[in-house]
Amino acid sequence: HQEDPAYENVILHVVLVEDVPIFRRSGDRIPCVELSGRIPAGLLRKFRQLRHTLAFVPCQAELPEVSPLILQSWLDRLAVERLEAKTVQLEECLEACRHDWEEMVYREVGRCLGYSVNSQPFAWLTAQLPLSIVRRYRDRPLSLEALVFGQAGFLERHFVEEYPQQLQREYRFLQKKHHLQPLDPAVWKFARMRPANFPTLRLAQLAALLLHRQHWLANLLDADSPEAIADFFEAETNPYWHWHYRFEQSGKSPPRHAGLGMVGRQIVNVIAPVLFLYGQRKEQKRLQQRALDLLEALPPEDNRIIRYWRQLGIMPATAF
């Protein structure tokens, strides 16, 4: 990268072994610090051993030598660091929302509904469909659903069934009224996904929450248990989605209620970090503690990675 102009401002080159001197384009040699003689040999051997191991967890052979107290302290610290890292993302979103907490919660809940594969399209959608528009149609289900699906780009085709036709007509009117530009429907991913997690169903859930739940921030600040948060997300979708996974594609009745997995993801990725950040900003330690309590109340997931850690003697007590 010495040919990259962006590296012209480098003031020090730090390497393990300086095998080749590095020069700026002007011909000046960049000062270098070689670490090979400054690191204990035993530490280097351990580094190389861990780096080249094929084990799932490189340090798993060393785990029996770690005291339970040190291990638990480390895990507790990792949990706090993870929560702090998530609050950094929330702070960036809060800044983008001009410090409107309600708007920030709306965007982050939407992002989380998309799981990892569709989180970005949900982020684009909620940014292009702000609460300032949504609030005007909370007493008009057809209009609000048309806004959600229309902005997502799912109403840009020909339909035979009456419900999507109604949505399409309503969206065309609202699109002109609010000067809206829909997303390209190609940004939404359906491949290798369980139908219950299709973005169309998640969008229906978002529309239901917008219709049936107001004052999201206040509701979530008052929630003191995973069960209370699950109640918040129990918003009934339009009956059309009781028998469809996608527009004009019917099938076995999809789940009508928020699953424990979805609620758990919302707590881990949105609710607890929001509580922690809000408590931090407002100097309310009880909210920060409630965030930690919520995370500790969530049971651990059951997946391949968790099962492997259990085989190594690390028994997760919570989902965080």
Residues β-bridged to residue 14: 33
Give the amino acid at 118: N
| Domain membership flag for residue 319 | no
| Domain membership flag for residue 95 | yes
Query: DSSP secondary structure string, 215-236?
Result: -HHHHHHH--SHHHHHHHT--P
CA diameter of the chain: 75
Residues 149 and 291 in one domain: yes
End-of-domain residue from the set 42, 65, 88: 65
| pLDDT recorded at residue 5 | 74
Residues 237 and 155 in one domain: yes
| Domain membership flag for residue 316 | no
CA 148 – CA 114 distance, rounded (Å): 14
End-to-end CA distance of the chain: 39
Strands (E), 28-79: 32-34
| Domain membership flag for residue 72 | no
Residues 29 and 120 in one domain: no
Residues 185 and 234 in one domain: yes
Residues 25 and 112 in one domain: no
Residues 97 and 43 in one domain: no
Instruction: Give the CA angle between residues 188, 101, 270 to the nearest 5°.
Output: 50
Per-residue pLDDT of the chain (320 residues; tens, 9 = 90+): 666 777 778 899 999 999 999 888 888 899 999 998 899 999 989 888 888 888 888 889 888 899 989 988 988 888 888 888 899 999 999 999 999 999 999 999 999 999 999 999 999 999 999 999 999 999 999 999 999 999 999 999 999 999 999 999 999 999 999 999 999 999 999 998 888 889 999 999 999 999 999 999 999 999 989 999 999 999 999 999 999 999 999 877 666 566 778 899 999 999 999 999 999 999 999 999 999 899 989 888 888 888 998 998 888 888 77
Residue among 93, 115, 118, 95 nearest 183 (CA): 118
Residues 61 and 90 in one domain: no
| pLDDT recorded at residue 24 | 83
The one-character DSSP state at 29 is B
Contacts of 70 (CB under 8 A, 6+ apart): none
SS3 211: helix
| pLDDT recorded at residue 2 | 62
Q: Dihedral (C-alpha) 133, 139, 145, 147: value to the nearest 10 degrees? A: -20
Residue among 174, 163, 85 nearest 129 (CA): 174
According to DSSP H, which parts of 183-271 are helical?
199-212, 216-222, 226-232, 260-266
Residues 56 and 84 in one domain: no
Other CB atoms within 10 Å distance of the CB of residue 50 = 14
| Domain membership flag for residue 317 | no
| Domain membership flag for residue 109 | yes
| pLDDT recorded at residue 133 | 98
Contacts of 86 (CB under 8 A, 6+ apart): 269, 272, 273
Residue written as token pair 């707590």: 267
286-320 as b/e: b if 16+ CB within 10 A: ebbebbbebbeebeeeeeeeeeebeeeeeeeebbb
| Domain membership flag for residue 58 | yes
Residues 37 and 92 in one domain: no
Number of domains the chain is built from: 2
- Is this prediction's pTM over 0.85? no
Structure tokens at 228: 């209370």
Q: Are 235 and 213 in contact (CB under 8 A)?
A: yes
Domain that holds residue 263: 77-311
Residues β-bridged to residue 33: 14
